Amino acid sequence: MSGYHHGDLPRQLLAHAAEMAAEADPESISLRELARRTGVSHSAPVHHFGSRQGLLTALAVEGFAGLHEALSARGDGLSELGVSYVTWALAHPGHYAVMWRPRLLDASDEELDSARRRLWAVLSAAIVEPAPDRGGASAEAYAAFALVHGLAGLWLAGALPRPEEPSELIRQITRRLAGASDRLREQPW
């Protein structure tokens, strides 16, 4: 069997689900295979998560919380936020793969919605406050998120060669975005 210890089954199931999501497309995760890998009965994952969607939603919530924690503990500045974001994604590929697949998740789950909102608050707060006439998050916040999200996704997919130590490259890339953002603020549309 596995290293399962009583009282820790939900955490064990989530850990194995994260491994499975990192190995293959999260859509291929089955509760039966998860139970087999964890060394528990086929009904155990259903008992704790209800369905595959419930399991993946819990995994996404755990991922959003972990990424939020990593970003909240970062150093100052946009480049450090970018480094924290991408390095967390590279270290947690299973969580990351599930977090950004909304059709696999329960959109009505309040914990998921709250975790997403907390993460976006940290991401968007790293960028200057949006201009009053724009409302909502600034274009710079969306651009910064798209940049680090895209970079993490490209490296995880193997579509771009990943440097052995990516932190300095991430800093250089995010500094360019910050410089472009400063120039945009100087020349309002």
DSSP letter assigned to residue 134 = T
Tens-place pLDDT, residues 26-68:
999 999 999 999 999 999 999 999 999 999 999 999 999 999 9
d(CA 58, CA 105) in angstroms, rounded, equals 9
Give the pLDDT of residue 188.
44
d(CA 58, CA 26) in angstroms, rounded, equals 13
CA-based nearest residue to 100, from 108, 112, 110, 87: 112
End-to-end CA distance of the chain: 62
DSSP letter assigned to residue 105 = S
Q: How far is CA 67 from CA 58, 88, 126, 130, 132, in A?
A: 14, 7, 15, 23, 29
pLDDT (tens digit, 0 to 9) for every residue of the chain, 189 residues total?
Answer: 445 555 689 999 999 999 999 999 999 999 999 999 999 999 999 999 999 999 999 999 999 999 999 999 876 778 888 999 999 999 999 999 999 999 999 999 999 999 999 999 888 887 655 455 555 567 778 888 899 999 999 999 999 999 989 999 998 888 887 665 444 444 443
To the nearest 10 degrees (0 to 180), the angle between helices 167-186 and 139-157 is 160
If one counts every other C-beta atom within 10 angstroms of the C-beta of residue 141, the result is 20
Paired tokens of 56 = 């993946």
Helix or strand run (H / E) with residue 97: helix 93-99
Largest CA-CA distance found in the chain, in angstroms, rounded: 63
Domains of the chain: 53-186 (1.10.357.10)
